[in-house]
């Protein structure tokens, strides 16, 4: 099995590789457009990485989650500018897919006109999600609110982050709505600490390590960071900042980090094993393939995640969560 100490360097390496590859494709496509009939970019812009890429937490099983923000310009100039940026985005997304980073099945990519917008449009959209936290808006927020820029030349992402951090800070009602939604994804431990595996479908008998092991930690860190006015996007960086705000005890935060790393270690080992065997990558692990020690530590890790969710339920007064 992949050793825990190797997980963080591997994840960081994947994030750095994806960043460099994406920047290179953007440079190549932009140069071709400038030298062709399109000319230079109409206004400065930046490419946004979101989701696990925005958090620098990709693994071999990550797909594309990206967007584009450009400098605001007069309304009459918007259609032509958006056409330019969508042309760029489509070619970059295609290049990433050919490179081996799959397209997002939900269409959350800069090539989608919904996610290729001016700075004010992004602010207005995010404000709408916060003011009206519908299930769909909260689902989108779990992806988009982890954004960061991977290109230089326009500070739109930094300005958007500053605005979002200030806007969400102290919004306990919004945090409560987000927490209530996040707590549906419970760690797969049942009565007497038995694993609760999928009972139907292609992955019957497996444990969904991403949705029910890692996502609860990522969601909790994001929700508390937004409420506390913390601008970090990486999950562990958020937890450290939350500790500094005295919302989490240092020892408990360290246990959460260890649990998160161990679950991710099992997940990455599963990915590497599947790749070696020529099988499609997924996030479902059959506990029967783990040895007794691995199963024991995995149960302990899920238990720590459950404790974090209990803390979230108490902080945001969500009843019915053990």
Confidence bin at 200 (pLDDT 50/70/90) = confident
Domain range enclosing 258: 169-316
Q: What is the CATH number of the domain that holds 194?
A: 1.20.120
Pair 65, 80 in one domain: yes
Helix (H) or strand (E) holding 92: helix 78-99
Looking at the structure, tell me whether residues 42 and 64 fall in a common domain. yes
- Over residues 54-79, mean pLDDT: 93
Q: Are residues 198 and 116 in the same domain?
A: no
Q: Is residue 282 part of a domain?
A: yes
- Residue whose entry in the numeric block shows the structure tokens 């019915």: 320
Average pLDDT over the chain, rounded to an integer: 93
**pLDDT average, residue stretch 36-54:** 96
Q: How far apart are CA 153 and CA 68, in angstroms?
A: 13
* Domain boundary pick from 165, 189, 223: 165
Residue 115 lies in a domain: yes
Residues 139 and 22 in one domain: yes
Question: pTM of the predicted model, to two decimals?
Answer: 0.94
Is the backbone of residue 86 left (phi > 0), alpha (psi -120 to 50) or beta?
A: alpha
Q: Let me know: does 258 contact 277? Beta carbons within 8 Å.
A: no
**H helices of 277-291, where?**
none
- Residue 117, pLDDT above cutoff 90: yes
Q: How many domains does the chain have?
A: 2
Does residue 199 sit in the same domain as residue 291? Answer: yes
| Residue range 6-20: mean pLDDT, rounded | 86
Of 112, 145, 165, the residue that ends a domain is 165
Res. 2: pLDDT tops 80: no
Say yes or no: 15 and 101 in one domain. yes
Q: What CATH number is attached to the domain comprising 65? A: 3.30.460.10
pLDDT (0 to 100) of residue 1: 56
Average pLDDT over residues 184-209: 88
316 band by pLDDT with thresholds 50, 70 and 90? very high
**Residues 102 and 176 placed together within one structural domain of the fold:** no
Picking from 129, 146, 165, the residue at the C-terminal end of a domain is 165
**321 is a domain residue:** no
pLDDT tens by residue, 252-306? 999 999 999 999 999 999 998 888 998 888 999 999 999 999 999 999 999 999 9
Distance CA 133, CA 260 (A): 27
Both 31 and 147 in one domain: the answer is yes
């Amino acid at each position: 099995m992949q050793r825990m100490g190797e997980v963080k360097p591997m994840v960081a390496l994947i994030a750095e590789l994806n960043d460099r590859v994406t920047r290179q494709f953007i440079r190549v496509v932009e140069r071709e457009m400038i030298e062709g009939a399109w000319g230079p970019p109409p206004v400065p812009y930046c490419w946004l990485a979101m989701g696990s890429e925005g958090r620098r937490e990709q693994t071999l099983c990550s797909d594309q989650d990206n967007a584009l923000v450009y400098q605001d310009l007069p309304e009459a100039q918007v259609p032509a500018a958006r056409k330019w940026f969508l042309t760029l985005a489509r070619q970059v997304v295609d290049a990433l897919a050919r490179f081996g980073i799959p397209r997002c099945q939900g269409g959350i990519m800069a090539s989608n006109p919904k996610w290729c917008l001016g700075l004010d449009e992004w602010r207005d959209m995010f404000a709408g999600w916060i003011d009206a936290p519908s299930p769909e808006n909260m689902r989108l927020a779990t992806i988009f609110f982890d954004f960061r820029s991977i290109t230089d030349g326009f500070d739109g992402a930094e300005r958007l982050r500053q605005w979002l951090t200030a806007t969400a800070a102290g919004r306990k009602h919004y945090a409560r709505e987000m927490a209530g939604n996040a707590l549906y994804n419970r760690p797969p431990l049942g009565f007497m600490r038995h694993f609760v595996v999928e009972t139907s479908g292609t992955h019957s008998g497996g444990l969904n390590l991403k949705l029910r092991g890692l996502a609860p930690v990522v969601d909790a860190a994001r929700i508390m960071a937004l409420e506390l006015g913390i601008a970090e996007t990486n999950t562990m960086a958020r937890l450290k900042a939350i500790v500094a705000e005295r919302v989490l005890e240092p020892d408990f935060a360290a246990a959460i980090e260890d649990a998160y790393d161990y679950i991710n270690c099992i997940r990455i080992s599963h990915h590497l094993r599947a790749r070696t065997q020529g099988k499609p990558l997924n996030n479902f692990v059959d506990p029967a393939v783990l040895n007794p020690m691995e199963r024991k530590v995995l149960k302990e890790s899920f238990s720590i995640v459950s404790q974090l969710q209990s803390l979230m339920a108490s902080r945001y007064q969500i009843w019915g969560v053990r």
